[in-house]
Copies of this chain bind each other. A is one copy, B any other.
């Protein structure tokens, strides 16, 4: 998908600029940049740009927010990989942050990226103060203990327990869903979307977030180790509740298709269908990494 590739290239060019210019102890800076630039699909920034474009707003106006979002996503991966959390030594084919820089610096790199995310939004002179404080509020809610951090705790507590499909969806809405919904809602705020437009986009993002997580669970068991850059089956080893363990691989594939369908239904409702947001939904249906 050309759009996705071009926006991925753009955000990857812009991502390290803030850190490179900042006065940060060099090992800490290297550690932050290492994980920030360690690849990934950049799906959250792409979603932000695509929503801005769909709403007829300049994509540049979302750049600082997109960088902030990717910093928060990156910090969550660094802390998630720590020995006391998931204890992962490999991510996207590369040694994880604490393997390279040590646990102490990895912890600080995560803390630093999380803090910089809010700094970058607050420093963005393209946006009004009202818009900036709205973005900070929404981002903190999506990323904090009512959102992603709360979902990570849920996830810890769910290990070795059996969750129902409802419970699993509730964990994932917090753990990954809110941070996939955020770029769509952020774009609506930046572009000054109507309430009706925001409602459709928000419904789209909700189903997209669930589809994304289901896709991750499928790839963990049925994906290709080389494409993923990590060992297959780690969820099983870690006794994680996944859509696959609840529904089988084929059942999870059906569920994924259903959420993509419902996401596209919300696009039709808002008359946003046929554009980049539809393409992104299709991409999530067929992705291999």
Contacts and interface: CB of A to CB of B under 8 A. Distances in A.
A114 interface: yes
Interface stretch (A136-144, A198-206, A268-276): A136-144
Nearest to A98: B84
Nearest to A143: B115
Contact of A123 (B23, B137, B157): B137
A14 B266 CA distance: 42
Interface stretch (A36-44, A146-154, A228-236, A244-252): A146-154
Nearest to A139: B118
A223 interface: no
Counting chain B CB atoms within 10 Å of each CB, which of A23, A136, A156 scores highest?
A136
Interface in A50-79: 75, 79
Contacts of A32: 145
B85 A144 contact: no
B122 A136 contact: yes
A289 interface: no
B130 A104 contact: no
Interface of A: 19, 22-25, 27-29, 32, 75, 79, 82-85, 102-105, 107-108, 110-112, 114-116, 118-119, 121-123, 128-130, 132-134, 136-137, 139-141, 143-146, 149-150, 152-154, 156-157
Given A150-B25, A153-B25, A157-B25, A119 B104 contact: no
Contacts of A28: 145, 149-150, 153
A126 to B, nearest CB: 13
A146 B24 CA distance: 5
Nearest to A120: B140
A179 to B, nearest CB: 12
Given A119-B141, A136-B136, A84 B112 contact: no
A144 B25 contact: no
A24 B150 contact: yes
